[in-house]
Copies of this chain bind each other. A is one copy, B any other.
Amino acid sequence: MPDRVPRPEPEAPPRWRRRKDARPQEIVAAAMDVFAERGFAAAKLEEVAVRAGVSKGTLYLYFPSKDELFKAVIRAAILPNLEQAEALAAAVAGPCFPVLERLLRMVAHLVATTRAATIPRLVIAEAGNFPDLAAFYHREVIRRGFGVLASLLQRGIASGEFRPVEVDPTVRLIVAPLLMSAVWRTSFDGLDGEPPLDVPALVEAHIGNLRRVLLRDVGEGVP
């Protein structure tokens, strides 16, 4: 009996390929999805692996632990946007309020349309269990974001464009509605047949309020 070839598909594609450079991003993208849907604790690495098209062991070739994978997700989702915001705020010389408007609308757009909106919720939820993650987020995201707004406010106050408000509370009051929108969209939206949160309308109302709060000449001729 001649030796029968044991593999029936000589033209079958290989069961897997080596793709050392593409893997990390794909894994992070898959992890972003799963963490967003389930939260950190309830997310299963097996599911991350399946969505990334690899096996669970492969995750551990690129990330030493679930925690580190989580941090990588956060970094990947937040840092590019933050750098964009810093560039936007730094590169302007004229009046400050229009810059503030553009920043708010940009963040609102992110909140309303991208997966990055789930990041604050994830960090908030896990801050107690990952103090170093909370510290990282506080240092790399919150502090920098606050810094952008604070310097903008200070410039506006110095030039006389803005009333002399207290900077720190005002920064927090500017940010709060955006943060709340991000959290809302990823926690409560679409419950009980409620209409979804209208983020643009909320932001426009907020900008209108800020105009009355920050600027010296309030246009009182509104009907």
Chain A residues within 8 Å of B, Cβ to Cβ:
37-39, 41-42, 121, 123-129, 131, 134-135, 138-139, 142, 163, 165-166, 169-170, 172-173, 175-177, 179-180, 183, 186-188, 191-192, 194, 198, 201-202, 205-206, 209, 212-213, 218, 222
Contacts and interface: CB of A to CB of B under 8 A. Distances in A.
Given A125-B125, A135-B192, A169-B198, 12 more contacts: A38-B129, A39-B126, A42-B129, A124-B183, A127-B186, A128-B186, A165-B205, A169-B201, A170-B205, A172-B180, A173-B206, A183-B183
Stoichiometry (number of copies): 2
> Which of A42, A176, A213 counts the most B-chain CB atoms under 10 A from its CB?
A176
Contacts of A205: 165-166, 169-170, 173
A42 B214 CA distance: 44
